[in-house]
């Protein structure tokens, strides 16, 4: 991300916005260490969504 001069929080927001219509909620949140993480409740949905695209 640093190589491309991207802010992690902005990219996470963009991913959440892009997936909101499909999932209906944010799929990435920031943990106690301020690191982005997939919300476990949506992990299976995301895996299915992206594996179906191949």
| Rounded Cα–Cα distance for residues 47 and 54 (Å) | 11
The residue to which tokens 């992990």 are assigned: 43
Domain boundaries, the chain: 8-52
Local confidence band at 54 (pLDDT 50, 70, 90 cut-offs):
low
Give the lowest-confidence range in 15-19, 43-47, 48-52. 48-52
Give residue 9's pLDDT: 94
What is the Cα–Cα distance from 8 to 37, expressed in whole angstroms? 11
DSSP label of 42? H
- pLDDT band, very low/low/confident/very high, at 1 (cuts 50, 70, 90): confident
**For 2-20, how does the pLDDT look when each residue is reduced to its tens digit (9 = 90+)?**
888 899 999 999 999 999 9
What SS3 class is residue 29?
strand
């Amino acid at each position: 991300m640093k190589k491309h001069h991207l802010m992690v929080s902005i990219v996470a927001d963009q991913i959440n916005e892009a997936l909101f219509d499909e999932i209906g909620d944010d799929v990435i949140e920031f943990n106690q260490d301020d690191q982005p993480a997939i919300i476990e409740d949506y992990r299976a949905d995301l895996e299915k969504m992206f594996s179906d695209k191949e």
